A and B are shown apart, each in its own frame.
Chain A
Amino acid sequence: MSSRMRGAATEIVAQALQFDRWGTLALMDISLRYRRTVIGPLWITLTLAATIGSVGTVYATLFKQDVSSFLPSFAVGLIVWTLIASTLQEGSNIFVASGHLIKAVPAPLVVHVLQMIARNIIIFLHHLLLVIVLYVVMPWQLHWNMVLAIPGFVILLTALFGASTILGLLCARYRDIGTAIVSGLQFIFFLTPIIWNEDAVNGTAFAWLTKVNAVATLLDLVRKPLLSQPTDPAQWLLGSIYAIGLAILGLNFYARYRHRVAYWL
């Protein structure tokens, strides 16, 4: 590890440990949203609930699937996907959006990424309410491997942390990447087994799609445990490789470009 990389890594760890700072700021962001509208981020939850209810039942009918098995898997998939998509989208805009702060206050850039991810985790927790409601309405079996959702979540967050740092730095320099990401995410959404089931492509020419799709792998590490479905060791290995790869690449980008960002804004 070069000294530049070590410097960047020390900075990231030091800031990540200051939960007091970015955690409080994220909580304040959310409480301000509650102040603007009474139910705050729950509006997004309600929108998600409507999508899950309507699209879920329609697709279950179209694909001739049992609603009680399709709906939970679709709901959890969509909720995790929302976390992934909104983090990447906000992440790609993070340094541009915090531009005035970056040029006014000396602070490590990674603070902004941490705050953004913390904010998205809080919103994700709001959405988890839906999973609980769904469980009450159409219960699935509880299994001890549900706790695997926690390491799965950690792997997913590591990957998102690396990816949004990279995207944020790139988008600070090249502003047209942001729009490409929005359409790219839409594309990935359809390639990821969320509104369709993995079994639907088994044995078809598209089966490899789910295998090489990193988003599908990372999403499954949270979704499958939450639904008490068995997880595949290969998926854990692959997910960890993606997360570590993105984290290392993100660290590289951060070490190389963090001091240039103020000049690009």
Chain B
Amino acid sequence: MSHAAHIALRNVSVEFPILTFRDRSLRSRFIRTLTPRLSRQKAGMRPHVITALNEVTLDIRAGDRLGIVGANGAGKTTLLRVLAGIYHPTVGNVSVHGRCLSLFDLRAGFDEEATGYENILRRGLVIGARRTEIDARRAEIAEFTELGDRLDLPLRTYSSGMTLRLIFAVATAVEGEIVLLDEWIGAGDHDFRRKARQRLDRIVERAGILVLASHDVDLVRSTCNRAILLQNGRITAAGPTEDILNQYLGSGDKAPSPAPSSG
């Protein structure tokens, strides 16, 4: 199944308007339109546009384990969101073939008041799974969390470790031909951490494509067979993992760049 997986990005750019309180107001926009002279004086008050990704061209084929490295704000998360289909690029083309499993922001869709079981259903529906599909995996997820009867209690009664177990179990219940990771995820105490590691390893192994954005150099070295270096939204280097990591570590470009977002 994984041989069909393929990602192609052609000159992809993502531009963000940085909206201030004033930019979000229709009233001030209206007033600006009515008073052209004033608005010309304050031309600097136009929404500030930031280029989070700049003409990114990238091919990822089945079998690739791609590491994305770069300083904070270089565009790693933005790139992952484009691959996941959350951001639609302002310019350029994206084509993604294969079922995408994006393992970031895993908490989204959970409700504090709902029970563990209800949250399994909720999160499943939110990510677009069919109800029958979720029901079929319910028991397996419950078993993996080792939470037992606690799954009948509201999420707000869980300790943070227990919550993480549930979130992890739900997120990794489905497999994807393309796995997107924003930093490696793990959860819980020592034993659970090992179990989680095995489970994620298996998912990554089976996936046709892995894209991993990380600051953890050793992790990228041990997991990825290719890497790209992002700087201010541009791919400044691409190639074998070792070369790129040397370049990344040697560049000394650790200072946060002006672009926001990304972790």
Interface presence of A28 (CB below 8 A): yes
**A103 and B127 alpha carbons, distance in the complex (Å):** 12
Given contacts A21-B130, A107-B126, 9 further A-B contacts (CB under 8 A): A20-B125, A20-B131, A104-B107, A104-B109, A105-B109, A105-B126, A173-B24, A262-B88, A264-B17
A-B contact pairs, 12 of them (CB 8 A): A21-B125, A21-B130, A21-B131, A104-B107, A107-B127, A107-B128, A174-B26, A174-B29, A259-B88, A262-B86, A262-B87, A263-B16
**A180 and B30 alpha carbons, distance in the complex (Å):** 14
Residues of chain B within 8 A of A105, CB atoms compared = 86, 102, 105, 108-109, 126-128
8 closest cross-chain pairs (CB), A and B: A104-B105, A104-B108, A259-B88, A174-B26, A106-B85, A175-B24, A176-B25, A20-B131
**Given A28-B121, A106-B86, do A174 and B25 touch, yes or no (CB 8 Å)?**
yes
Cβ contact within 8 Å between A106 and B113 = no
Interface presence of B19 (CB below 8 A): yes
Residues of chain A within 8 A of B121, CB atoms compared = 24, 28
**Given A32-B111, A263-B16, do A24 and B125 touch, yes or no (CB 8 Å)?**
yes
Q: Which residues of A contact B (CB under 8 A)?
A: 20-21, 24-25, 28, 32, 35-36, 100-107, 173-177, 180, 259, 262-264
Residues of chain A within 8 A of B111, CB atoms compared = 28, 32
Q: A183: shortest Cβ distance to chain B, in Å?
A: 13
Residues of chain B within 8 A of A175, CB atoms compared = 24-25
- Which chain B residues in 17-34 approach chain A with CB under 8 Å? 17, 19, 24-27, 29
Q: B58: shortest Cβ distance to chain A, in Å?
A: 18
Interface presence of B118 (CB below 8 A): yes
Residues of chain A within 8 A of B125, CB atoms compared = 20-21, 24-25
Cβ contact within 8 Å between A103 and B105 = yes
Q: A224: shortest Cβ distance to chain B, in Å?
A: 36
- Kindly identify which residue among A21, A35, A101 contacts B108, using a CB–CB cutoff of 8 Å: A101
**A100 and B11 alpha carbons, distance in the complex (Å):** 28
Q: A143: shortest Cβ distance to chain B, in Å?
A: 40
Residues of chain B within 8 A of A107, CB atoms compared = 126-128
| Binary contact readout B85-113 vs A (1 if CB under 8 angstroms, 0 otherwise) | 11110000000000010101101110101
**Given A259-B88, A262-B86, do A106 and B24 touch, yes or no (CB 8 Å)?**
no
Q: A89: shortest Cβ distance to chain B, in Å?
A: 17
Residues of chain B within 8 A of A25, CB atoms compared = 122, 125-126
| Binary contact readout B15-58 vs A (1 if CB under 8 angstroms, 0 otherwise) | 01101000011110100000000000000000000000000000
**A101 and B107 alpha carbons, distance in the complex (Å):** 9
Q: B211: shortest Cβ distance to chain A, in Å?
A: 14
User: Closest A-chain residue to B16, C-beta based?
Assistant: A263
Cβ contact within 8 Å between A106 and B102 = yes
Interface presence of B84 (CB below 8 A): yes
Cβ contact within 8 Å between B104 and A174 = no
Cβ contact within 8 Å between A24 and B24 = no
Interface presence of B7 (CB below 8 A): no
Cβ contact within 8 Å between B113 and A177 = no
Cβ contact within 8 Å between A28 and B26 = no
**A20 and B132 alpha carbons, distance in the complex (Å):** 10
